[in-house]
Structure 1
Amino acid sequence: MSTLYEQLGGEEGISAVVDSFYDRVLADDRVAHFFEDTDMQQQRAHQTQFLSSVAGGPVTYSGEEMDEAHDHLDIHQEHFEVIAELLEETMVEFDVDEDDRQAVLDAVAQYEDAIVQC
């Protein structure tokens, strides 16, 4: 049985999803402002590493703790929901099946309390 990481196409597949995801995020006025002063090349690399890790890949996430990385951003529940919506739309674009999409969203949702600050 393959891991979710393998089902998503490994690092290359996840990286492609992340690139398209951030294109959507940066085009969405509801959340784009969170990334105004962000090195997007580094952000995309971190997100690829994070999603690879939570998807069961041979990757260990080495970024900041989620609460530390997000505590200065004033992220509300609705922002988290927009990000989840954009991530799901992106996975649909890449023909990720429903069970795998839900597994990714469930893995990300585990960090909701650390990310949502208000």
Structure 2
Amino acid sequence: MESDETTRYERLGGEESIEAVVSQFYEYVMADDLVNHYFEDTDMQQQTIHQTQFISSVTGGPVDYSGEDMRAAHEGMGITKEEFDAIAGHLDTALKEFEVPEDDHEDVLAEIASYEDAIVGA
């Protein structure tokens, strides 16, 4: 348990701030020819809502993630380690752009990295 009473979700600024980071993250993803093809037929507004919900949930927010299991959601996509790392890099850049404190920044990236085995090669 953390020494202070605030959750990572609260320190990140709550849903509105997380949504801003996620929106910027997807701008980077969509500009990246290595990975943007995965989102060609995706409703990006819905995707942003979904990803905001996911990050809010894993950072201790009052949000229940209602999306698919990570492995099921990415099954058959053939995502490579290089692509996973590129997408994680875009999240890293977005977190830096919004000046997320280093500890929380690293925690968010570690949480995402914990899903790598379920996403890569699923």
Normalised by the length of structure 1, the TM-score is 0.97
Aligned residue number for residue 28 of structure 1: 32
Aligned residue number for residue 87 of structure 1: 91
Deviation at 1:72, TM superposition (A): 2.1
Number of residues of Structure 1 aligned to a counterpart in Structure 2: 118
1:57-96 alignment runs, 5 A limit: 57-96=61-100
Q: 1 CA distance for matches of 2:115 and 2:15?
A: 21
Q: 1 CA distance for matches of 2:98 and 2:20?
A: 9
Aligned residue number for residue 103 of structure 1: 107
Q: Which amino acid aligns with 1:85?
A: G
Q: Which amino acid aligns with 2:42?
A: T
What is the RMSD of the two structures over their aligned residues, measured on CA atoms? 0.9
Q: Which amino acid aligns with 2:66?
A: S
Aligned residue number for residue 38 of structure 1: 42
Structure 2: gaps (5+ residues): none
Structure 1: gaps (5+ residues): none
Q: 1 CA distance for matches of 2:42 and 2:27?
A: 14
Aligned residue number for residue 8 of structure 2: 4
What's the % identity of the aligned pairs?
58
Normalised by the length of structure 2, the TM-score is 0.93
